[in-house]
């Protein structure tokens, strides 16, 4: 099909939840490159929104999929699954979690976290402790409970009444959190670095203070690491920047390198809340998803991709400084490692993004004044040089 034919069929047959998409259709990719139907090469600095951590068509991912698919794809959780225990072991041995449960997406992993936190207190005899405090501008997914947890009107308005008992407070404001916690609170759930909210990092003091507040009040601390986890910020998990461990954390996006898989991870004292029948999934933890995720996570660890994310991320922050001085339209550059947001002083993000696309660079936007950079973790300094040069040129048009 030609691009035009695909666009027409999309309009005719696909629910219009994505509006006018960027007018391109890719046929294949390799490393950080993608090629469209006409054979044009693009540099992927969005990675499917922090998903394609190893870039495209990485041999570790391709081989894991092919090898496992030849054996079998699915097997019910009624039986023991080898790749499931291998992946669980790899996550536990490299994180603060003692136990994991596999889901199929970030939202689903977060649903599991919400259920686990509520049940934890219910089984201790507190039927009132069901409230969860989250942050303004947060994003936790698109299911009914996770949009209620999300701190953004645009996702919530169309679906009210929302799942009750989610409270919102501003980011990096310990006092607001302290005042919001009450006898009905069961957990605080946050992204260590907000992604969809505009790349907003939490401060060191805030996370330290949150852990202390949660301990003081005997409530659970949940980190949504769906976007910031798995090497993106320069450490395997976002919480490792703060020297603080959550009771529960969730993973998804990068975990399967593009194959759908999510994980709910918890410390033993919380994880043991789930007893036979309390939670489940048909597809979650299937042999194919777990084999791929095992390949992705071991590659991130063995190929030192956290270190690469830190190094190339620092290199980007260093290089963007000169661009920022030259183009005062850049207001602020935020983030950690390869989780980066560039905020402009005017609402030009969509136009800038369009110009980048015309230069065959794929980036993302958040709202009207922020573009974000989330390249695969295999990105090189030479790739960053290309991006910086392109941004410098594009922004000349906006001075
Ligand atoms: C993307 C994202 C989700 C939702 O993940 P899905 O796989 O789309 O359900 C949840 N939390 C955060 C922080 C995310 O970035």
pLDDT tens digits, 83-121:
999 999 999 999 999 999 999 999 999 999 999 999 999
Contact of 236 with 245, CB cutoff 8 Å: no
Which residues' Cβ are closer than 6 Å to ligand 1?
105-107, 110, 139-141, 191, 195-196, 224, 226-227, 252-253
24/187 Cα distance (integer angstroms): 42
pLDDT of residue 361: 98
| Catalytic-residue membership of 253 | yes
pLDDT of residue 181: 98
Residue in 296, 289, 396 with CA at minimum distance from that of residue 352? 396
Q: How close is the Cα of 146 to the center of ligand 1, in Å? A: 9
312/231 Cα distance (integer angstroms): 12
User: Structural domains in the chain?
Assistant: 3-57+304-398 (3.90.1150.10), 72-302 (3.40.640.10)
Active-site hit among 129, 137, 165, 253: 253
Q: Global pTM?
A: 0.98
Contact of 48 with 254, CB cutoff 8 Å: no
185/188 Cα distance (integer angstroms): 8
pLDDT of residue 210: 98
pLDDT of residue 214: 98
245/225 Cα distance (integer angstroms): 12
- From 53, 105, 106, 372, the mutation candidate for ligand 1 (largest count of ligand atoms within 8 A of CB) is 106
Q: Which residues of the chain, if any, have pLDDT below 70?
A: none
Q: How close is the Cα of 254 to the center of ligand 1, in Å? A: 11
Q: Which atom of ligand 1 is nearest to the CA of 262?
A: 7
Q: How close is the Cα of 227 to the center of ligand 1, in Å? A: 7
Residue with CA closest to ligand 1 atom 10: 140
């Amino acid at each position: 099909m030609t691009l035009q034919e695909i666009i027409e069929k999309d309009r005719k047959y696909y629910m219009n939840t994505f509006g006018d998409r960027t007018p391109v259709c890719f046929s294949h990719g390799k490393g950080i490159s993608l090629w469209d139907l006409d054979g044009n090469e693009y540099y992927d600095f969005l990675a499917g929104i922090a998903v394609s951590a190893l870039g495209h068509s990485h041999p570790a991912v391709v081989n894991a999929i092919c090898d496992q698919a030849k054996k079998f794809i699915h097997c019910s959780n009624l039986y023991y699954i080898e790749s499931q225990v291998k992946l669980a072991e790899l996550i536990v041995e490299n994180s603060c979690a003692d136990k994991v449960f596999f889901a199929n997406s970030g939202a689903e992993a977060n649903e599991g976290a919400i259920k686990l936190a509520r049940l934890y207190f219910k089984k201790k005899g507190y039927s009132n402790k069901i409230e969860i405090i989250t942050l303004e501008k947060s994003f936790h997914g698109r299911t009914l409970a996770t949009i209620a947890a999300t701190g953004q009107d645009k996702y919530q308005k169309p679906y009210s009444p929302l799942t009750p008992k989610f409270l919102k407070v501003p980011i990096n404001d310990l006092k607001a959190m302290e005042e919001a916690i009450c006898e009905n609170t069961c957990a605080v759930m946050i992204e260590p670095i907000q992604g969809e909210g505009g790349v907003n990092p939490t401060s060191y003091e805030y996370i330290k203070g949150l852990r202390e507040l949660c301990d003081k009040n005997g409530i659970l601390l949940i980190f949504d690491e769906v976007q910031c986890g798995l090497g993106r910020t320069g450490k395997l998990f976002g919480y490792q920047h703060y020297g603080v461990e959550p009771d529960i954390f969730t993973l998804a996006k990068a975990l399967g390198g593009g194959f759908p898989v999510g994980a709910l991870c918890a410390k033993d004292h919380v994880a043991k809340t789930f007893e036979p029948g309390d939670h489940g999934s048909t597809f979650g933890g299937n042999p194919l998803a777990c084999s791929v995720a095992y390949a992705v996570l071991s590659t991130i660890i063995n190929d030192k991709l956290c270190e690469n994310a830190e190094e190339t991320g620092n290199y980007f922050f260093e290089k963007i400084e000169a661009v920022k001085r030259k183009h005062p339209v850049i207001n602020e550059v935020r983030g950690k490692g390869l989780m980066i947001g560039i905020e402009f002083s005017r609402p030009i993000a969509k136009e800038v993004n369009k110009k980048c696309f015309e230069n065959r660079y794929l980036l993302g936007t958040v709202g009207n004044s922020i573009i974000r950079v989330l390249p695969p973790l295999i990105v090189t300094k030479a790739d960053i040089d290309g991006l910086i040069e392109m941004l410098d040129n594009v922004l000349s048009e906006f001075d």
